[in-house]
Amino acid sequence: MEKTSGLPFQQLLKERGLKSTRQRDEIARVFMESADHLSVDELCQRVRQKNPGIGYATVYRTLKLLAQSGWASSRQFGQRTARFEQRTEGEHHDHLICLICGKIVEFASERIEELQSRIAQKKGFRIFDHKLELYGHCADCLAKKEMTGKKVKEKAAHE
């Protein structure tokens, strides 16, 4: 599927009897140009940089439509707010999530995918989809923690 072609999204709008409005098109465009994992709030902010009048509800509904038409997938990442990322046919990746700064890092491993299929096969499962999310502290946050830890120790040594 060609990512840049907006046709399926427009078709979905038509099927649902929704008009392809300038606002919806603009929201979809901004989303497609963003490579990261966006919450509705973050997409709202980006869209409003150029179009201050666009409402939160319109952004939310458009994201839901994008998800329903297969252009976006929604992720929870252990938080209450959903994040949306672009979906590319045939591409799969999993995520590392930092519990301190919220950074989200993508990774893909054929070995993990293979292992998962083998486990599913053994258990007699047919897998349609999966999400692997690893939660922890990222390298930057670990470095910061180590630095403040050192400072505390140094201070204690001086006292």
Residue number, 61 or 137, with CB nearest to Zn ion: 137
Residue number, 13 or 85, with CB nearest to Zn ion: 85
Binding-site ranges for Zn ion (CB under 5 A): 85, 98, 100-101, 103, 106, 138, 141
Distances in Å between the alpha carbon of 68 and those of 72, 91, 147?
8, 18, 45
In the complex, minimum distance from the CB of residue 134 to Zn ion, in angstroms, rounded to a whole number: 13
**CA pair distance 82, 57, nearest whole angstrom:** 15
User: Under 8 Å CB-to-CB from 36, ≥6 apart: which residues?
Assistant: 85, 104
In the complex, minimum distance from the CB of residue 14 to Zn ion, in angstroms, rounded to a whole number: 29
Residue number, 55 or 102, with CB nearest to Zn ion: 102
In the complex, minimum distance from the CB of residue 61 to Zn ion, in angstroms, rounded to a whole number: 22
